[in-house]
Amino acid sequence: MTSVVVAGAGSIGSLLAAHLARAAEVTVLTRREEHAAALRQQGLRVSGRSDFTAQLDATADPGALPNAELAILACKGTDLEPLAERLAGTLPAATVMTIQNGLGAEEVVSAHGDWPLLSSVTFMSGTRHGDTHVEYVLDTATWIGPYRGTTEEDAIRVAELLEAGGLKAEAYPDLRPAQWAKLIFNATVNGVAALTGLPHDFHFAQTDEPSDLGILVRDLVDEGKAVAAAAGVELHDDPWSMNVLATERGHRHFPSMLEDVEARRPTELESINGALVGEAWRLGVDVPLQTAVYRLVKAREASYSE
């Protein structure tokens, strides 16, 4: 059986680890030893869209990891740098896959080792109910593509492994069109949700009056498209259509940036909105509205100390 390491056991890491454990030998790398011990003893329960308890290995010590063929770094973007640093010098035979929101995860990881790298973006979502229980909420796909020292065939093999475990996955020869579509979607929807307190609901698609929120959302998406075009990326999906479609699901999704702001936690602003604004700057594209959203959310984080 394939040996897989899943580093990070938040909701996405837990969903990946539990499902993959049905098709591979999985070891979870946690931050806390008691989390690893609980996983070894109790397994990892999945409820919601799937219903089973996975048996898997777990450790908080990177030196104790097996010589795996695949390692998925499934932490939040804000935790990626310290995680990659902990993994430096380990996993000599592994292909490493990033799955963070935004841009730049691959560069962060490549600075800490010369593993072959795969990129991925995921549209599935889950809710953690403790160290050994995750609820599978949205069973949408994970998209995988080559990044460094890998080919589409490597992406296909990982996609097949995820599907064998019961998740949805698709491989692409070039992930950037999908990655950028999700980046523009997230920078827009998460930023607007964090500033207004609105979950991703019908307001985001409303364009009847000049002051309707959908007009701003569409203008933000248009700025993002201009940056993608300047970067030579042809988007896989239209982020505006993704937005409209998501608001029509009838399920009021609370984007993580809104949850972070309400809980007064640091957000993924830098790797999402910051990455988009940074690319715009680098490419000489004017993005005044996205810049305003970026600065406002950043200031909102600064207000936690008021």
Partner 1 sequence: MGCGAVGSLFAAHLSLLDDVEVWAFDLNELHVAAMNRDGLRLSGAGDLLGRPRGTSDAAAIPPCDFGIVATKAMHTEPAIDATAHVFSEGYVATVQNGLGNEETIAGRVDRVIRGTTFPAGKLLEPGHVQWDVRGDTTFGPYNERTPLADVERLADACTRAGMPADAVEDARGPQWRKVIFNASTNPIGALTGLTHGRVCERSDLRALVTGLVDEGKSVAAAQGIELDADPEELIDHAAKPEVAYDHKASMLQDVEARRQTEVDYLNGGIVRFGQEHGVPTPLNAAIQALVKGVEASWTQN
Q: Is 295 near partner 1 (CB under 8 A)?
A: yes
d(CA 29, CA 9): 7
The number of beta carbons lying within 10 Å of the beta carbon of residue 22 is 17
Contact region with partner 1 (CB under 8 A), list: 45-53, 100-108, 144-152, 288-296 = 288-296
Report the length, in residues, of the chain.
Answer: 306
Q: Is 203 near partner 1 (CB under 8 A)?
A: yes
Among 169, 205, 213, 287, binds partner 1 (CB under 8 A): 213
Per CB under 8 A, contacts with partner 1 among 234-263 are: 252
Strand partners, 28: 6, 58
Q: Which two tokens stand for residue 74?
A: 């499934």
Among 79, 201, 237, 270, binds partner 1 (CB under 8 A): 201
Nearer to partner 1, 195 or 230 (CB): 195
Contact region with partner 1 (CB under 8 A), list: 65-73, 108-116, 138-146, 188-196 = 188-196
Among 152, 219, 237, 259, binds partner 1 (CB under 8 A): 219
Cβ atoms of residues 138 and 115 within 8 Å = no
Sign of CA dihedral 149, 151, 157, 161: positive
Q: Position of tokens 């229980």?
A: 133
CA R_g for the chain: 19
Per CB under 8 A, contacts with partner 1 among 90-109 are: none
The DSSP element (H or E) to which 228 belongs, if any, is helix 213-230
Q: Which residues bind partner 1 (CB under 8 A)?
A: 192, 195-199, 201, 203, 210-213, 215-216, 219, 252, 288-289, 291-293, 295-296, 298-300, 302-303, 306
